[in-house]
Amino acid sequence: MTLTDIASRTYNHGWRLDPIIRSLLDTDFYKLLMLQMIRRFHPDVHVTFSLINRSRHIRLGDLVDEGELRAQLDHAREIRFSKKELIWLAGNSFYGKTQMFTPDFIAWLADFQLPAYELKRVDGQYELHFHGNWTHSTMWEVPALAIINELRARRVMNGQKRFSLDVLYARAKAKMWSKVERLQQLPELRMSDFGTRRRHGFLWQRWCVEALKEGLGPCFTGSSNVLLAMDSDLEAIGTNAHELPMVLAALAENDEDMLEAPYRVLDEWRRVYGGNLLIALPDAFGTGDFLRRAPDWVADWTGFRPDSAPPIQAGEEIMAWWKARGRDPREKLLVFSDGLDVAAIEQVYHHFNGKVRMAFGWGTDLTNDLVGCSPDGSRALDPMSLVCKVTRVNGRPAVKLSDNPEKASGEASEVARYRRVFGVAGA
User: In whole angstroms, how far apart are CA 108 and each of 35, 36, 326?
Assistant: 11, 10, 43
The strand pairing partners of 49, in sequence order, are: 130, 390
Of 22 and 56, the one with the shorter C-beta distance to its own copies is 22
Q: How far apart are CA 233 and CA 220, in angstroms?
A: 12
Across the beta sheet with 303-304, what order do the strands follow?
A: 220-223, 191-193, 357-362, 333-336, 303-304, 279-280
Shortest Å, Cβ 252 to its own copies? 50
> Of 351, 293, 350, 343, nearest to 319 (Cα)?
351
Q: Is 80 in the site for its own copies (CB under 8 A)?
A: no
Q: Is 82 in the site for its own copies (CB under 8 A)?
A: no
State which of residues 174, 324, 371, 416 lies at the interface with its own copies (CB under 8 A).
174
Strands 47-53 and 118-122: unpaired
State which of residues 59, 80, 121, 173 lies at the interface with its own copies (CB under 8 A).
173
Q: How far apart are CA 229 and CA 77, in angstroms?
A: 22
State which of residues 66, 177, 274, 416 lies at the interface with its own copies (CB under 8 A).
177
DSSP codes joined into one string, 145-174: HHHHHHHHHHHHHTT--HHHHHHHHHHHHH
Q: Is 17 in the site for its own copies (CB under 8 A)?
A: no
CA torsion, points 257, 259, 260, 264, in degrees to nearest 10? 110
Shortest Å, Cβ 314 to its own copies? 34
Q: Is 215 in the site for its own copies (CB under 8 A)?
A: yes
Of 103 and 377, the one with the shorter C-beta distance to its own copies is 377
Q: Is 375 in the site for its own copies (CB under 8 A)?
A: yes
CB neighbours of residue 393 within 10 Å = 22
Shortest Å, Cβ 231 to its own copies? 13
State which of residues 7, 13, 253, 256 lies at the interface with its own copies (CB under 8 A).
7
Of 105 and 207, the one with the shorter C-beta distance to its own copies is 207
Residue numbers 20-49 binding its own copies by CB under 8 A: none
Q: Which residues bind its own copies (CB under 8 A)?
A: 3-5, 7-8, 11, 161, 163-164, 166-167, 169-175, 177, 210-211, 214-215, 375
